[in-house]
Amino acid sequence: MQPLHHGILLLYLLLLSGTWADLEGNPLLPLPSPLSYLGTFTVRLLQTSTFQNTSFVDTEGLGFLEDIELGSLDKHTWAIRFYQPWVRPALRRSDWDTIQNMIKIYLQRFSHLINEGAMQKDVPYPFVAQCMAGCKLYPNRTSQAFTYVGYNGQDFLSFDTDNGTWVLSQDTDLSRYVLAILQNYTAFSELLEVLFNDTCVDDMEMLVQYGKAALERQVQPVAVVFARTPSPAQLLLVCRVTGFYPRPISVAWLRDGQEVPPGPALNTSAILPNADLTYQLRSILAVTPHDGHSYACRVRHRSLGSRSLLIPWGRCHPWGQGWGS
């Protein structure tokens, strides 16, 4: 199979996939054995290219396994920088070298293609093109791939891996033009399918195996409860939970031991990242001062096992220790 000239995402996908030789059916990498992963894992590769003018493009590239940043591309040399010590050993050195070279070729061709399209269609500079590609690996060794292309922050095109075709996300002159170019290269779509169907699974299994400790890392949440009084008639109880990993968590307020259902008095923030790859959130319950009820914040998280963290508000509370069940 020949390398293709107009491959949006091509080399990013190859970051996942190994080398051209893989595409010709030569298994280069031993499969990890025994297979030892449970759960579903997603690899995401992100590219952001800012086209300042026809001769100047600024490109950033990032790779993630779940929420773990695997590496990035050096802005100037497009060399891969590894952020985790276990990423480089997951593939052979020669494979990384090949991937590295391909990224460079891909980014040159990508810029060329996009600049040509922009000139053909009178697209005003500056503009931003983004690509996100990756795949999800299920415990039954099947995978599901995705590819999205964005233009100036809006969905532009995506690749439907079920039927192997590109789909418009917005209907514009430009999106139709790019779609036509991509569809002219059926070999490219076939290549994507092969990558998604086969190599995606094999290389992700390597990454998941090498990154096992990082993926299984657990850090217990720290929670505090405090109050704010925006007005004499209102008391806001704040439960601040931080420093936990992985991301999924359950935070609830108990009134006299009973969970407070969702409603206008309850306001829970989004889960936000901390700088050290842990997470935080806060849950605020609006109550009437001196209403005679007892309140506590209850936190459940994988790192706590079957226990809950229980942080009571106020002096008199029946739970005592701060740890309940």
Ligand X SMILES: *[C@@H]1O[C@H](CO)[C@@H](O)[C@H](O)[C@H]1NC(C)=O
Q: Quick one: 85 or 139, whose CB is closer to ligand X?
A: 139
Residues 113-142 that bind ligand X (CB under 6 A): 138, 140, 142
Distance (Å, whole) CA 145 – CA 137 = 9
Residue of 50, 84, 100, 197 interacting with ligand X (CB under 6 A): 197
Total of residues contacting ligand X (CB under 6 A): 20
User: Phi, psi (5° rounding) for residue 241?
Assistant: -120, 125
Q: Is 168 in the site for ligand X (CB under 6 A)?
A: no
Residue 109 · residue 78 · CB < 8 Å: no
Q: Is 56 in the site for ligand X (CB under 6 A)?
A: yes
Residue 209 · residue 36 · CB < 8 Å: yes
Residue of 52, 101, 108, 229 interacting with ligand X (CB under 6 A): 52
Which run of H or E residues covers position 16?
helix 10-17
Nearest CA to 74 out of 85, 86, 82 is that of: 82
Q: Is 267 in the site for ligand X (CB under 6 A)?
A: yes
Residue of 74, 97, 160, 291 interacting with ligand X (CB under 6 A): 160
Q: Quick one: 140 or 258, whose CB is closer to ligand X?
A: 140
Residues 97-116 that bind ligand X (CB under 6 A): none
Q: Is 258 in the site for ligand X (CB under 6 A)?
A: no
Residue burial 1-38, b: 16+ Cβ < 10 Å; e: rest? eebeebbbbbbbbbbbbbbeebbeeeeebeebeeeebe
Distance (Å, whole) CA 164 – CA 39 = 26
Q: CA dist 186 to 179, 182, 257, Å?
A: 12, 8, 62
Residue of 180, 187, 224, 272 interacting with ligand X (CB under 6 A): 180
User: Phi, psi (5° rounding) for residue 134?
Assistant: 170, -170
Q: Quick one: 184 or 288, whose CB is closer to ligand X?
A: 184
Q: Is 231 in the site for ligand X (CB under 6 A)?
A: no
Distance (Å, whole) CA 117 – CA 178 = 7
Q: Is 193 in the site for ligand X (CB under 6 A)?
A: yes
Residue of 2, 24, 33, 55 interacting with ligand X (CB under 6 A): 55
Residue of 26, 53, 218, 274 interacting with ligand X (CB under 6 A): 53
Distance (Å, whole) CA 133 – CA 142 = 17
Q: Quick one: 168 or 304, whose CB is closer to ligand X?
A: 168
Q: Is 163 in the site for ligand X (CB under 6 A)?
A: yes
Q: Is 173 in the site for ligand X (CB under 6 A)?
A: no
What residues contact 285, with CB distance under 8 A and at least 6 apart?
236, 237, 239, 253, 260, 265, 266, 267, 295
* Whether the bond into 232 is cis, omega within 30 of 0: no
Nearest CA to 148 out of 8, 4, 49 is that of: 8
Rounded least distance, CB 41 to ligand X, Å: 12
Q: Quick one: 179 or 309, whose CB is closer to ligand X?
A: 179
Q: Is 26 in the site for ligand X (CB under 6 A)?
A: no
Rounded least distance, CB 125 to ligand X, Å: 8
Rounded least distance, CB 160 to ligand X, Å: 4
Q: Which residues bind ligand X (CB under 6 A)?
A: 52-53, 55-56, 138, 140, 142, 160, 163, 165, 167, 180-181, 184, 190, 193-194, 197, 264, 267
